[in-house]
Structure 1
Amino acid sequence: MDNQVRVAVADDHPVIRMGIEATLDDISFIDRIGSVADSTQLVALLDTQPCDVLVTDYAMPGGQYGDGMELIAFVRHRYPDLRIVVLTSMEKLALIRGLMTHGINAVLSKADDMSHLRAAIQATRTGRRYYSPRIANLLKALPATGSARLSQRESEVIALYVGGDSINTIAEKLQRSKQTISTQKVTAMRKLGIETDADLFKYAIELGLTRKKPLSD
């Protein structure tokens, strides 16, 4: 039985990409099928080579298929059986939660040692979660409410708010008091680890939840 794991690498920084390659090439059960620098090259590779696990940078601009959450969503849809390990230098709780929402269970900080790649690949191949130390510490630092999912009403309020509606408008649409809507928004932001409206909109744009340009009244 062939136990080799076929791995593709995507990172637009040559030095980091070489570091990933060197780490993977020292792992006996890994067969590195190729390395790319943007999403255009990545899709070309995945369309022509069987692959089990993708190790990809989160921020990798310049390709035809975008980067960040846009690329993650595209890859998840086009290659549903592909497992994904995400590398990122952005240690933001909202980002990690966004990745989890998209079914990404292996996230590594670029500030941690590349040796974590081995455990991350093994974990994601068997459906387990793996976070490198800095990412794990970020998640552990959450308050108790931070581990809870958004309720249906909280999700509804956030979706309307980042879609351009004011608290008053949302209250009218949902036939609730302004105070209730405001409380649900604050609670949802606390669960997401988001402190400001500006960060909320950045998070929403990454997930494709909001318009990138505000609507005029």
Structure 2
Amino acid sequence: MDSNHIRVAVADDHPVIRLGIEAALDDVPTIRRIGSARDSSELVTLLDAQPCQVLVTDYAMPGGRYGDGLNLLSFLAERYPALRIVVITAIDKPVLIRTLLAKGIQNLLSKADDIAHVAPAVQAAHVGRRYYSPAIAAIVQSLSGDKPITKLSPRESEVISLYVAGNSIMEIAKQLGRSKQTVSTQKVSAMAKLGIASDADLFKFASEVGLVPPPEIS
């Protein structure tokens, strides 16, 4: 491996954004892009074929065999433990940023920020330093001023997980041996703690943070 260059892979399902990332990286003499992928299937094929030190990946990148979001990040961490990851996302919800930070992702870029942040984020990831683009840094700063997040109780978490998996309140009550009113109250309480007001937002949140399980891979 060429020790004078950082070997980088790019993954994003949006061609224009992917080309922008590629151009930003190709302009830096110390970075060598080994290839790009449009989904998780192409990404794993690329990473299996060539040594890579840093990955720049979109958070939401549906359509691949290995999923996207938190599920893909967990898979990559297990399969390529030495790989450093820079996540770029259009999702600006504090709960997602908090979740990514808790998962150990320390290099985060917002698609709302200048693409020029990609190269310094890669360089920071390569040496084990954190890097946030301005929009992400503002969210992280706001989180640091928060009181510790109120976590869901085990029963609330159980109810929410079953609900976003497609079960009705009645079905959840039957599965858990609780009354319909109890399950409904636990769901409402959990949504209040998460700052979510509607079922539509609950399902969107569940998708963003990986509560909805990916389809099984045969």
- TM-score under structure 1 length normalisation: 0.75
Q: Amino acid of the residue matched to residue 157 of structure 2? A: I
- Which residues of structure 2 form unaligned runs of 5+? none
Contact 2:96 2:209 (8 Å CA) reproduced: no
For residues 116-146 of structure 1, what are the alpha-carbon distances to aligned partners after superposition, in whole Å with 9 as ceiling and x for unaligned?
112211222233322111111223334833x
User: How do residues 98-177 of structure 1 correspond to structure 2 at under 5 angstroms?
Assistant: 98-142=99-143, 144-145=145-146, 148-150=148-150, 154=153, 157-164=156-163
| Residue type at the aligned position of 2:9 | A
CA 149–45 in structure 1, closer or farther in 2 if over 3 Å, else same: same
**Of the candidates 176, 191, 194, which is equivalent to residue 189 of structure 1?**
194
Deviations 1:156-195 (A, max 9, x none): 63344333497xx7xx98xxx99xx7997477425xxx56
User: Distance in 1 between the 2:154 and 2:137 partners?
Assistant: 25
**Amino acid aligned to 1:157:** E
Question: Structure 2 CA distance, aligned partners of 1:20 and 1:143?
Answer: 29
**CA separation of 1:122/1:211 partners in 2, compared to 1, >3 Å: closer, same or farther?**
closer
SS at match of 2:9: strand
| Aligned equivalent of 1:77 | 78
Q: Which moved more, 1:136-145 or 1:67-76?
A: 136-145
Give the direction of change, closer, same or farther, for the CA distance of 1:161–1:199 in structure 2 (3 Å limit): same
- In structure 2, how many angstroms separate the alpha carbons of the residues matched to 1:7 and 1:189? 36
How many angstroms does 1:14 deviate by?
1.8
Root mean square deviation, CA, Å: 3.4
Question: 1:209 is matched with which residue?
Answer: 211
Aligned to 2:15: 14
Q: Which digits, 9 at most, give the CA deviation of each residue in 1:10-38, with x for residues without a partner? A: 11222211111111011121111111111
* Residue of structure 2 equivalent to 1:44: 45
Aligned residue pairs total 204
- Is the CA contact (8 Å cut-off) linking 2:109 and 2:117 kept in structure 1? yes
Gaps in structure 1 of 5+ consecutive residues: 213-217
Instruction: For 2:194, give the aligned amino acid.
Output: M
Counterpart contact for 1:154–1:184, Cα < 8 Å: no
Identity %: 50
Deviation at residue 155 of structure 1 after TM alignment: 6.1
Taking a change above 3 Å as real, the CA distance of residues 118 and 143 of structure 1, as seen in their structure-2 partners, is closer
Distance 1:154 1:129, change over 3 A: farther
What does residue range 18-29 of structure 1 map to in structure 2 within 5 Å?
18-29=19-30
For 1:129 and 1:156, the matched residues in 2 are separated by: 35
Q: Secondary structure at the match of 1:9?
A: strand
| CA distance in structure 1 between the aligned counterparts of 2:111 and 2:213, rounded to whole angstroms | 30
My pick for the range that moved more, 105-114 or 89-98, is 89-98
State how far apart, in whole Å, the 1-side matches of 2:16 and 2:67 are: 21
Q: Which whole-Å CA distance do the structure 1 matches of 2:67 and 2:191 have between them?
A: 31
